[in-house]
Amino acid sequence: MSSPALATEKSRTQRVPSGHGAFVSLAAVERIGAKTLGLSGEIASAVVAPFRIEPEFAGRVWGFNDLRPWYDKTAEGQPLGEVWLTGDECLVATGPYAGRTLGSVFAEASQALLGPEAPDSGSPLLIKVLFAKEKLSVQVHPDDKLAQKYGQPRGKTECWYALAAEPGAKVACGLKPGVTLDQVRDEIRTETLEQSLVVLDVQPEEMIFVDAGTMHAIWPGAILLETQQNCDLTYRLYDYGRGRELHIEKGLEATRLVTKAGKVAPVETETGRTTLLNADYFLVERLQVTGSRTGASLRGAAEPERELQYLFAAAGTARISGEGFEAVELPRGSIAAVPATSPDFSIEDLGGLELIRITPRWPGTKA
């Protein structure tokens, strides 16, 4: 016959199903604390463990037929230009949500994923890897106000982090001083718009900020990790004669002659933590993992105690593990979601890891 003490300890190590499909141990829940997690009723009802997300491959006329060695994927028709890491239609790869779309998980468990202080309930960020073999269109994205004018929930501010770059890689980012919208309109007609764009050389590990309203274009030579608001609304102004639809009037309406776009210098805020960009809609950091480090150590001093974070393996391989859930392998090019209500975990460098951490922000609330 088991002693009461042994029976109590056994019950604390049992895996408890949450109301959102995740499984954690009672001991893990007790360690996190129901009050911290905002739990009520069923003790584990809001606990969601970290999970990896399957990439979604998007065909683009300017892309590649073969994404190896970054991804073991070749085109079956149209070239591949974008790898969506956190799109609403991306499938969850691990854990009890495996096989579900990310959008459906947010619809069911948004507070558990985002935390109680998030002002929105949907998936806030769309993260991609871009592979440009040819020039993308010269384009612009609307801000929140203009997007909402045309029936969309939000606009699109974004940034690009260069995972790799060949010599001579360039992007266009903004208009040269003194350029007018009338001039832009004329240059679209005469196919000379490039001459009015600010062109930037791209080096590996550089960050470029592209706020909404910035006219821009991506040219061949760089592999870019793009973080953006969860909106894929693009107004094409010039497309090099490829015959795709243009959106000149809306594009000119969205264009700002002066923006904050450009390269952003990295800032080492503490040992092992480099801020690549801290903007209104997202925080992007590069974190050093020597051996392993705790999940709590990934959070900056001024950040909320509980919030959604994405962990992307820019190089090497990682493993995320903790009590009460199956370990999550994170090979190069893959991403894991760590929900606001995640149990304690650690992340281990399995060799050559370069870890990028991305967390959502909302205007007026950035750390």
Percentage of the chain beyond pLDDT 70 is: 86
In this predicted structure, the answer to whether residue 363 has a pLDDT above a threshold of 90 is no
Q: Please report whether residue 343 resides in a domain.
A: yes
- Domain of 323 in residue numbering reads as 267-360
Q: What is the pLDDT of residue 120?
A: 83
* Same domain (yes/no): 150, 249: yes
Q: Does residue 67 share a domain with residue 25? A: no
If asked whether residues 127 and 84 sit together in one domain, one would say: yes
89 pLDDT above the threshold of 60: yes
Q: Same domain, yes or no, for 279 and 225?
A: no
The share of the chain scoring above pLDDT 90, in percent, equals 80
Count of domains in the chain? 3
**Same domain as 210, residue 351:** no
Neighbours of 58 (CB within 10 A): 16
> Tens digit of pLDDT for each residue in 225-237?
999 999 989 999 9
Q: Check residue 365 and give its pLDDT.
A: 54
Q: Which pLDDT value is given to residue 364?
A: 60
CATH number at residue 215: 2.60.120.10
The answer to which of 77-81, 132-136, 291-295, 304-308 has the lowest mean pLDDT is: 304-308
User: Is 190 inside a domain boundary?
Assistant: yes
d(CA 309, CA 337): 6
93 and 195 in a common domain? yes
Do 89 and 221 sit in the same domain of this protein?
A: yes
Q: Is 26 domain-assigned?
A: yes
Look at residue 7 and tell me if it is in a domain: no
